[in-house]
Chain A
Amino acid sequence: MTDLVFDRVGLRLGARAVLEGVSLRVAAGEFVALLGPNGAGKTSLIKLGLGLALPSAGQISLGGAAPRALSPRERARRAAWLPQAERPSEPVPVIELVSSARYFAREPHREARARALAALERVGAAALADRSVHELSGGELQRCQLASVLAQGAPLVLVDEPGSHLDPRHQVAIYRLLGELWREGHGILCVTHDVNLLAHVGGDPRVVGLLDGALTLESRWLAPALAGELSQLYGVPLQAASGGGGRVFHISAESNGARP
């Protein structure tokens, strides 16, 4: 069972405290949406969980061991990362980019390609397999990177702003696919700004909020109090409404944007 546990984790970069006393447990098979304003430390928390950085205080456990104590290969077996879209440095074919996600497995390249192709089919991008990554639109690139995560096949998936830069159709598609992964038993920690997209995950995912480096919100998607809690987190009055068969949060019109 791969769960990810942050125990009173702190991170300092120079004089700035990015995270302070963060305790969060993402149990195996759980969907946790991590919300919070810009600069709250969400991406830093994900990177700590992946072992890309060392915490300055506290303990992290990825499936029972500190991520930094594990070899990159062993980490790759436990957790996969969907980063904010970064364009690859060379115009490689999509299939090669996705095959690289199988590096940890030490398998023949033919096998890695087969798994990569299956993952591309799953995200509806099999037709892109031989295209150069430099010819892809932002949405296509993100779908291919999601295919990399699928090909890697780790039980825990850490996702950073999956909907950013995407048009609504692709946003919905990505969140639906994350929901499917969740129902297949993957644990998912999903950093997002766009709380309304959580409607497309389905079910009642857990919602936590990070503000100024500390966890200040612990709730669930369907909790009646969520609108008020989100208002506090973002510092703008949010209202819940029902529309399109689900919940929608929008900024109260009379507030006219941010309050001082």
Chain B
Amino acid sequence: MRWLLHGLVCLAVLGAAPLLGAPLEGAAGEFILLELRVPRVLVGALVGGTLGLTGAVYQALFRNGLATPSTVGTMAGATLGALAALVLGAGALLGLPGVAAAAFLGAALVSALVLSVAARKRATMGDVLLAGIAVTLASSALASGLQFTADSQALFAATQWSLGHLPQVGYDALGWLGPLNLGSALALLLLAPALQGLVGGEELAETQGVPVRRVRQVALGAGSLGVAASVAWCGPIAFVGLVVPHVLRGFGVITYRQLLPLSWLYGAAGLVACDTAARLLLPGRELPVGVLTAAIGAPALVWVVARRRSLG
């Protein structure tokens, strides 16, 4: 019953989003609705869901409330890749727009580096966290170096990309995002009981039957794949992965059996709502959605933390 309610709320947000805005009439209106707004809402839902869900999973995995989808360096790697493509001039790779392809490659490479640390026998989650911080810092440094050599046009494009946005990509992006993000979400949702077990401690969970190392690999692997695909298309969208699970916790959603599916649903609905607002707020111009998620997310996080100091 409660699940039905949550599902309906999120569906209502997704359904209403493409209808809001300037009135649509005639063939042009139909084109805007079906070819621009509907795919954009679907991209927003896939990306927002991935970010919210991955944030919740990483918070459980690292047993740290500050973990985010970018904790293992995925976002920094994507930023580096995108910047390299913009600065060095990007053609189409793998049939994708060059920027998205390069961002995906960067994200995948950096995540693979961190994953290889996580796969080592004696690695603790603290080691993985440190590796994530190290590759994030290194990627940022390289990105700064690239920016230094860039001309002003590439620099402007890079800045725009790094703000986070839902692109007008029609259905092309969905062919990539659909399978990657839905596959990653499914793998992560199935981890809920194992992640619940980790709450009592990694070693205790192992004695209760949780294959801790495999859970770690699946979570980091599936998580960074979904996040890499998302960032590649939309840039690093801040705060969704951090804030959505915490706001849900603030409303009393505590077990991972509930938190994971709800983070997915409300991550999707939340990002679509933000994107719609970003589209409507300034007449005649669009605000990058990443600016809006940060503007709403930061105070929301402070509110949650002020209300209850629980996790991490």
Contact = CB atoms under 8 A, between A and B. Distances in A.
A44 B211 CA distance: 21
Contacts of B311: 89-91
Contacts of B208: 72, 76, 80, 100-104, 148, 152
Contacts of A77: 209
Interface string A76-107: 11011101001011111100110011111100
Nearest to B206: A72
B63 interface: yes
B197 interface: yes
A193 interface: no
B205 A103 contact: yes
Nearest to A67: B207
Contact of B254 (A75, A76, A91, A148): A91
Name the interface size band of chain A: 20 to 34
B209 A72 contact: yes
A52 B254 contact: no
B207 A76 contact: yes
A71 B214 CA distance: 11
B201 A86 contact: yes
Interface in B208-255: 208-212, 254-255
Contacts of A89: 63, 198-199, 201, 311-312
A109 interface: yes
Contacts of A75: 206-207, 209
A47 interface: yes
A48 to B, nearest CB: 12
Contacts of A86: 200-201, 204
B209 A47 contact: no
B255 A103 contact: no
Interface string A44-80: 0001001110000000000000000001110111011
A76 B197 CA distance: 13
Contact of A52 (B194, B200, B203, B209): B203
A109 B254 contact: no
Contacts of A71: 211
A92 B255 contact: yes
B206 A97 contact: no
Contacts of A152: 208
B279 interface: no
A98 B275 CA distance: 41
B184 to A, nearest CB: 23
B254 A92 contact: yes
B193 interface: yes
Contacts of B203: 47, 52, 81, 83
Given A88-B200, A90-B311, A91-B254, A103 B63 contact: no
Contacts of A72: 206-212
Nearest to B200: A88
A50 B207 contact: yes
Given A47-B203, A90-B311, A134-B310, A100 B212 contact: no
A90 B206 contact: no
B196 interface: yes
A133 B204 CA distance: 16
B197 A109 contact: no
B207 A81 contact: yes
Contact of B310 (A51, A73, A80, A90): A90
Contacts of B209: 72-73, 75-77, 103-105
Nearest to A102: B208
Nearest to B202: A52
Contact of A103 (B197, B254, B310): B197
Contacts of A50: 206-207
A96 B255 CA distance: 8
A46 to B, nearest CB: 10
Contacts of A47: 203
Contacts of A76: 207-209
Contacts of B63: 89
A104 B212 CA distance: 12
B310 A100 contact: no
Contacts of B211: 71-73
A92 B193 CA distance: 13
Contacts of A101: 208
Nearest to A50: B207
B199 A100 contact: yes
A52 B196 contact: no
Contacts of A100: 193, 196-197, 199-200, 205, 208
Interface of B: 63, 193-194, 196-201, 203-212, 254-255, 257, 310-312
29 contacts: A50-B206, A50-B207, A71-B211, A72-B208, A72-B210, A73-B211, A75-B206, A81-B204, A83-B201, A83-B204, A88-B200, A89-B198, A89-B312, A90-B254, A90-B310, A90-B311, A92-B196, A92-B199, A96-B196, A97-B200, A100-B200, A100-B205, A103-B193, A103-B194, A104-B208, A104-B209, A109-B193, A109-B257, A148-B208
Q: Which 4 A-B pairs have the closest CB atoms?
A: A104-B209, A76-B209, A73-B209, A89-B63
